[in-house]
A and B are shown apart, each in its own frame.
Chain A
Amino acid sequence: MNMPATKIEVETATPAAVAAPVVAMTPRRPPRSEAYARMARETAVRVIPPLVVIALLTLIWELVCRRAGSALPPPSKVFKDTKELILDPFFDHGGIDKGLFWHLSASLQRVALGYSLSAIAGIALGVLVGQSVWAMRGLDPLFQVLRTIPPLAWLPLSLAAFRDGQPSAIFVIFITSIWPIIINTAVGIRNIPQDYRNVAAVVQLNPLEFFSKIMIPAAAPYIFTGLRIGIGLSWLAIVAAEMLIGGVGIGFFIWDAWNSSHISEIILALFYVGIVGFVLDRLIAGLGKIVTRGTATS
């Protein structure tokens, strides 16, 4: 059995060795172009199916809404009506007559402020509830009830308290996104393995070092789950809140378009709201991936 195998090896090896200087470059090239081809194939596999689905849906939409007397405009009409808004998102004619960029940026600023506050407060409260049994017993029932209150139900109360639209909208974002952050952080803290606590005890870390060196990194995957749910809820809440408080913002832009019967503008705005929400979600997910590298696979 062995002899023929060795023989074949020797036979193939000899010509390769002789030809080696001549063909030195050839073995390198095919893998490279193959790698490109593979990358292109992988991209195509991911990109083509959604594109096909989008094209099909647009076609169906076009066919359904094309007939005269249809309540909603077909995509071709949407594009024609909103061409100016799409091509120039940066115009500013004073008041609320601004390009979509300014509306989105106003909404995003509110979200940034409200969400940052809720991230800080949420992680702090979550650590408290996760670490202290008494804090959990006292606060958890309260959280469980408060978190079921719909975002918009807070708006009248916050308007009464702040007497202004801007802080009220920020408060609504804060109160909407804080609950998943608190709850996930608390679960993360409670699930810190006893091993890590033992290590900290043997090394004699003080409470502050324990917090920064053990607790936060160990709970980071949970915290980021909460943060990701929170950013999604913030974006849901801001659009609804802005419809009611008015002023510059993508929510009021939609409401204003409805009042002026500009259905095409509503559709365009919805498209942007979806894209921005998606980007925000990816942003937090990506940040979480960077921060928690190593931790998740322990």
Chain B
Amino acid sequence: MTAYLKLDHIDKIFTRGAATTEVLKDINLTIEKGQYVSIIGHSGCGKSTLLNIIAGLTTATTGGVLLENREVNSPGPDRAVVFQNHSLLPWLTVYENVRLGVDKVFAKTKTKAERDAWVMHNLNLVQMAHARDKRPNEISGGMKQRVGIARALAMEPKVLLLDEPFGALDALTRAHLQDSVMALHQKLGNTILMITHDVDEAVLLSDRIVMMTNGPSARIGEVLEVPLARPRKRLELATNTTYLKCRQRVLEFLYERHRFVEAA
């Protein structure tokens, strides 16, 4: 197994005054190139903290993140993030939001015309080219998230980080967008790491599902391989025994062995 992205013994301790909270304990994970990996766990287990550490937005207390055998500890376009609440800049148009990242990443390697074409290419990938001159408040939640994905893809990241990308969407839009992400993964072969708390979403999209125990001191409880052939079809999987078994396995982990304890 060739390690592309490697999380090496990551601990994270938050200190507020005299009080310290250990959020993550000894997280080890290896992700291969082109894999789609989901991290699932109850809310408050430190999934988002883990994603922020990989993105470089927060630093691990001990341990580190290796991308292609090089340590990364500050944010950068090689680990582009699709944020939960889209985080588009409201004063820029759809096009300008994507262009912002493209202009920085390809400042030296692409001409102006090439960057323009590259922005439009990525908007086409997520079927948002028609809204290029709209502002974020003029498009729907699902469309905003599409633009967020286009912005991340346009930076040509080595790893695409998705932070509960479909969490704020209604069920129908979510399904539609999941299919889009699957198609993009199929087409572009990106390495994707997704945070989620939706079991169906995790099984449908992932090659591997990383299940986290409850915090404090959350660790990786179990890693499940999902041996389903791609391309996957939502409707066919509904009766597929492998799919149902995987789903069952994740549900058991989350609701039997590591049940969420309110305000523990």
Give the one of B74, B76, B87, B91 with max A CB within 10 A.
B91
> Nearest Cβ distance between residue A192 and chain B, in whole angstroms?
11
The answer to whether A201 touches B75 (Cβ under 8 A) is yes
Within 8 A of A (CB), among B61-113: 74-77, 79-81, 83, 85, 87, 89-91, 100-101, 104-105
Within 8 A of B (CB), among A187-232: 193, 195-196, 198-199, 201-205, 209, 213-214, 217-218, 220
Q: Say which residue of A195, A198, A203, A294 sits within 8 Å of B137 (CB atoms).
A: A294
The answer to whether B91 touches A202 (Cβ under 8 A) is no
Whether A201 contacts B57 in the complex (CB less than 8 A), given A294-B137, A297-B137, A298-B137, comes out as: yes
The answer to whether B56 touches A205 (Cβ under 8 A) is no
A105 near B: Cβ within 8 Å?
A: no
The answer to whether A294 touches B90 (Cβ under 8 A) is yes
The answer to whether A204 touches B104 (Cβ under 8 A) is yes
Within 8 A of A (CB), among B25-78: 55-57, 74-77
Whether A196 contacts B81 in the complex (CB less than 8 A), given A204-B76, A294-B135, comes out as: no
The answer to whether A203 touches B87 (Cβ under 8 A) is no
A295 near B: Cβ within 8 Å?
A: yes
Contacts of B87 in A (CB 8 A): 193, 195-196, 198-199
B136 near A: Cβ within 8 Å?
A: yes
Q: Say which residue of B75, B83, B91, B101 sits within 8 Å of A295 (CB atoms).
A: B91
The answer to whether A198 touches B81 (Cβ under 8 A) is yes
* Chain A residue at minimum C-beta to C-beta distance from B84: A195
Whether A213 contacts B100 in the complex (CB less than 8 A), given A295-B91, A297-B137, comes out as: yes
Q: How many residues of A contact B (CB 8 A)?
A: 22
> Nearest Cβ distance between residue A223 and chain B, in whole angstroms?
13
Contacts of B202 in A (CB 8 A): none
Q: Say which residue of B57, B76, B91 sits within 8 Å of A198 (CB atoms).
A: B57
Contacts of A292 in B (CB 8 A): 91
Contacts of A217 in B (CB 8 A): 89, 91
> Nearest Cβ distance between residue B126 and chain A, in whole angstroms?
17
Report the Cα distance A298→B135, complex, angstroms: 10
Contacts of B90 in A (CB 8 A): 294-295, 297-298
Report the Cα distance A297→B136, complex, angstroms: 10
> Nearest Cβ distance between residue A52 and chain B, in whole angstroms?
39
Please report the number of residue pairs spanning A and B whose Cβ atoms sit closer than 8 angstroms. Answer: 64
Report the Cα distance A217→B91, complex, angstroms: 7
Within 8 A of A (CB), among B164-200: none
The answer to whether A199 touches B89 (Cβ under 8 A) is yes
For A228-248 the 0/1 string (1 means CB < 8 A from B) is 000000000000000000000
Within 8 A of B (CB), among A65-102: none
> Nearest Cβ distance between residue A194 and chain B, in whole angstroms?
9
Contacts of B80 in A (CB 8 A): 202
Contacts of A201 in B (CB 8 A): 56-57, 74-75
Q: Say which residue of B77, B83, B91, B100 sits within 8 Å of A195 (CB atoms).
A: B83
Contacts of A204 in B (CB 8 A): 75-77, 104
Report the Cα distance A136→B109, complex, angstroms: 41
Whether A202 contacts B75 in the complex (CB less than 8 A), given A196-B87, A297-B90, A298-B90, comes out as: yes
The answer to whether B104 touches A203 (Cβ under 8 A) is yes
> Nearest Cβ distance between residue B140 and chain A, in whole angstroms?
14
> Nearest Cβ distance between residue B110 and chain A, in whole angstroms?
15
Report the Cα distance A199→B85, complex, angstroms: 12
> Nearest Cβ distance between residue B65 and chain A, in whole angstroms?
15
* Chain A residue at minimum C-beta to C-beta distance from B90: A298
The answer to whether A202 touches B89 (Cβ under 8 A) is no
Contacts of A209 in B (CB 8 A): 104
* Chain A residue at minimum C-beta to C-beta distance from B138: A294
Report the Cα distance A282→B210, complex, angstroms: 57
Report the Cα distance A196→B85, complex, angstroms: 11
* Chain A residue at minimum C-beta to C-beta distance from B97: A199
Contacts of B250 in A (CB 8 A): none
For A281-298 the 0/1 string (1 means CB < 8 A from B) is 000000000001111011
Contacts of B136 in A (CB 8 A): 294, 298
Could you name 6 residue pairs across A and B whose Cβ atoms are closer than 8 Å?
Answer: A196-B87, A198-B57, A198-B87, A201-B57, A204-B75, A214-B89
Interface on A for B, CB 8 Å cutoff?
A: 193, 195-196, 198-199, 201-205, 209, 213-214, 217-218, 220, 292-295, 297-298
Extra contacts besides A201-B56, A298-B90 (18): CB < 8 Å:
A193-B87, A196-B87, A198-B87, A199-B83, A201-B57, A202-B55, A202-B76, A203-B77, A203-B155, A214-B89, A217-B91, A293-B91, A294-B90, A294-B91, A295-B90, A295-B91, A297-B90, A298-B137
Interface on B for A, CB 8 Å cutoff?
A: 55-57, 74-77, 79-81, 83, 85, 87, 89-91, 100-101, 104-105, 135-137, 155
